Structure 1
Amino acid sequence: MLIDIHAHLVTKGMLNRHEFWGPFMKTSGFTVGHFSLGTKQPSKARNDAEAEANLLARMTHESRRQLMAERGVDKLVLSAPSHAFMYWAGEFGSEYARICNDEMSAYCRQDPQHFDFWCHANLAEPEAAVQEIERAVTQLGAKGVCVGGTNFNGIETHDERLFPVWEKIEKLDVPIMVHGFNQSIYWGEKHTDDKFETTSIVGDCVDETLFFWYLICGGALDAFPRLKAYITHAGGMAVFQLGRLSELNQAMAPDARNRKPLMDYLENFYFDLDVHAPGLRRGVVEVVGVDRLVYGTNFGGAYAHGDLTENLGLNDEDREKIRSGNAIRLLKLDTPGMH
């Protein structure tokens, strides 16, 4: 069985919800406020309406199931696109979180055998986020909470203003999914100063690394020891620089609030194998261990590299843990009738 827990969803109801923030799908790309997601791919659409229609066509249940069948995927766990997290959008940020959760829940209810979802919450407004997480998990069936990297409109992951959010997530016993986003969204009209789409392509991984570092250093895992977080893109750089982070947390960060050695917090984290070289995947397996690995690929995104558990020297039992078993346990997924 193969369950991919990193896949984004856009529905018609998630588009065109705000006159400025949108989000919009245009010939220039996915657009939020002044920002448009850069791409080298020329638009296949003649106008914005056609661009939107093309995007939504790829998001239908039928289209998703067809691509899933081609790639041998049995279930997706969906999340909102990171470029539309709306932490920067004031009051609309919390409204958009409710919209996303209503839309994703409705989408998944039409085919629960193949689709589940991570809810979205506006962490820039922690009190509103707590209420929305409660609603999404207890009423809408969300399996966890997707959060964007570390900068929630100036509130960083280490900030104790987020402690009520972590407390609610721990109490509900659901995991966090961490996915960085382009910090250039905060630059407004100057977002084009972000050369080479760096705050997205490189910055996502930086954000994910900072989440790992800040959650530990800020003391959240001492206050909420049962909190669990899955960090996409193989943890950004966290796994690859674990030794440096661990040694220097102890030697060079006197203001760090963690009470235990950094390595002791690894049991609170899960990672995927979304790195492109089999040698690096083998390294992640060796460092993290199969019991803390899940399967996530940004399904249907800009690249695909086949089964990420192949050619790693793993036995069938360990491959199955990564491909589905760990996710079923972590997210409490229902899998009746799946093959």
Structure 2
Amino acid sequence: MTVSRIIGVEEHAWTAELRDALLRYGGDDTVNLLSSRPQTDSKLREVGDERLARMDAAGVDMEILSITTPGTQPLAAAEAVPLARDANDFLADAVRRHPDRFAAFATLPTPDPEAAASELERCVRQLGMVGAQLVPLTQDVRYLDHESFRPVFEAASELGVPLYLHPGQPPEAVRRASYSGFDDWTNLNLGTGGWGWHVDAGLAALRLIIAGTFDRHPTLQIVLGRWGELLVPFADRADLLSEDNPTLQRRVIEYLTNNVHVTAGGVLSHRMLTAAVDVLGPDRVMFGDDDPYRGMKGHFGGAGGAREFVETAPLSAADRTKLGHTNAERLLKLSKETP
């Protein structure tokens, strides 16, 4: 069965100015050793013909652009605020030039939470962005459930836009204790894309739940990549946190099934898709290829790989359409047809 449209919901970019600031900061090895490599850096900064050709080859009709991890969140507030604004203007310009191919999530300068909330409002109301992307930590010390970040969640709830929780490096002390002892490359992969990223992102989402974020904002929606960042597959066990909890209004699993959506995030696994659908249902799963990091490759690589993944998914025809585009269109309030 042919799916009429494929939307990738986790697809990344950045600006040269943000790259340089993060390299000066020097505290994020995913920047130092991965994103800033010349070939990857070039692909992240390019949001025109080369990216469109890559999308066409994979069968992706639209990308929801977002600034790659860690955004401006490790930086000092005075630097983070203008860099985030410039990066968002860069994304908005790409959308204006190709409105049928791109939409965008804002990046937010969480070192200044009030400025981050204001920037989200600007990006949604003035630039037409469809939500925002955050990483779990700000300046390596505060998770998103810290009370200082409540203005950001209040703004997202008021604006009716979702927040995408993308992995970032775990805290430095955790990296030293849990993700070291091997060669440098293995340490990096163990602490990031091989395991640590996903533990930390799932933990950040779970902390938002138990901190009462969704009791304060019952309609607020968040998005996790990699089919739920280890939290959704472990939902039945995480639900034990509901027992004798004096503050939560619902069970943990009810927050997951009412306030969380997931994307492939570049992990094109039908087995993991099936598990996510089993927990969340078919209305909360979306495609995403993690462009340009995966480079539209993997088990479903080559010409039409994204489309092949969706069209061969072990779902009903109606649910494959939801995975491919209609769930994203509904959550992000996108046009249902390409102009």
Do they superpose with TM above 0.5?
A: yes
**Partner residue in 2 for 1:230:** 223
Does the C-alpha gap of structure 1 residues 320 and 95 become closer, same or farther in structure 2, counting only changes over 3 Å?
Answer: same
Answer yes or no: is the 8 Å Cα contact 2:11–2:65 preserved in 1. Answer: yes
Q: Could you say what the CA RMSD is over the residues aligned between the two structures, in angstroms?
A: 3.2
**Partner residue in 2 for 1:270:** 261
TM-score w.r.t. the length of structure 1 is 0.83
Answer yes or no: is the 8 Å Cα contact 2:168–2:201 preserved in 1. Answer: no
Q: Which structure 1 residue ranges, 5 or more long, are not aligned?
A: 24-31
| Alpha-carbon distance between aligned partners in 1 of 2:250 and 2:137, rounded to the nearest angstrom | 22
- The one-letter code matched in structure 2 to 1:246 is D
**Partner residue in 2 for 1:220:** 213
**Partner residue in 1 for 2:170:** 183
| Alpha-carbon distance between aligned partners in 1 of 2:44 and 2:264, rounded to the nearest angstrom | 28
The reply to whether residue 196 of structure 1 matches residue 187 of structure 2 is: yes
The number of aligned residues is 318
Q: What is the deviation of 1:83? A: 3.4
| Alpha-carbon distance between aligned partners in 2 of 1:92 and 1:233, rounded to the nearest angstrom | 31
Q: Which structure 2 residue ranges, 5 or more long, are not aligned?
A: none
Does the C-alpha gap of structure 1 residues 241 and 172 become closer, same or farther in structure 2, counting only changes over 3 Å?
Answer: same
Does the C-alpha gap of structure 1 residues 128 and 113 become closer, same or farther in structure 2, counting only changes over 3 Å?
Answer: same
**Partner residue in 2 for 1:320:** 321
Does the C-alpha gap of structure 1 residues 152 and 321 become closer, same or farther in structure 2, counting only changes over 3 Å?
Answer: farther
The reply to whether residue 285 of structure 1 matches residue 277 of structure 2 is: yes
| Alpha-carbon distance between aligned partners in 1 of 2:33 and 2:18, rounded to the nearest angstrom | 25
Q: What is the deviation of 1:37? A: 3.2
Does the C-alpha gap of structure 1 residues 152 and 330 become closer, same or farther in structure 2, counting only changes over 3 Å?
Answer: farther
TM-score w.r.t. the length of structure 2 is 0.83
Q: What is the deviation of 1:212? A: 2.0
Answer yes or no: is the 8 Å Cα contact 1:149–1:204 preserved in 2. Answer: no
Answer yes or no: is the 8 Å Cα contact 1:15–1:22 preserved in 2. Answer: yes
The reply to whether residue 258 of structure 1 matches residue 259 of structure 2 is: no
Q: What is the deviation of 1:184? A: 6.0
* Structure 2 counterparts to residues 37-116 of structure 1, below 5 A: 37=30, 51=38, 55-56=42-43, 59-116=46-103
Q: What is the deviation of 1:114? A: 0.4
Answer yes or no: is the 8 Å Cα contact 2:225–2:263 preserved in 1. Answer: yes
Describe the SS at the equivalent of 1:246.
Answer: helix
What are the Cα deviations for residues 19-64 of structure 1, in whole angstroms up to 9, with x where unaligned? xx357xxxxxxxx5254438999x9xxxx9x937971587241011
Q: Name which of structure 1's ranges 242-251 and 70-79 shifts more when overlaid on structure 2.
A: 242-251
| Alpha-carbon distance between aligned partners in 1 of 2:76 and 2:109, rounded to the nearest angstrom | 10
Describe the SS at the equivalent of 2:106.
Answer: strand
Q: Name which of structure 1's ranges 176-185 and 229-238 shifts more when overlaid on structure 2.
A: 176-185
Answer yes or no: is the 8 Å Cα contact 1:88–1:152 preserved in 2. Answer: yes
Answer yes or no: is the 8 Å Cα contact 2:47–2:94 preserved in 1. Answer: no
| Among candidates 2, 5, 9, match of residue 5 of structure 1 | 9
What are the Cα deviations for residues 264-319 of structure 1, in whole angstroms up to 9, with x where unaligned? 21211101234454223222222221111111120231354334334443122110
- The one-letter code matched in structure 2 to 1:315 is S
Describe the SS at the equivalent of 1:8.
Answer: strand
| Among candidates 107, 131, 134, match of residue 120 of structure 1 | 107
Answer yes or no: is the 8 Å Cα contact 1:122–1:129 preserved in 2. Answer: yes
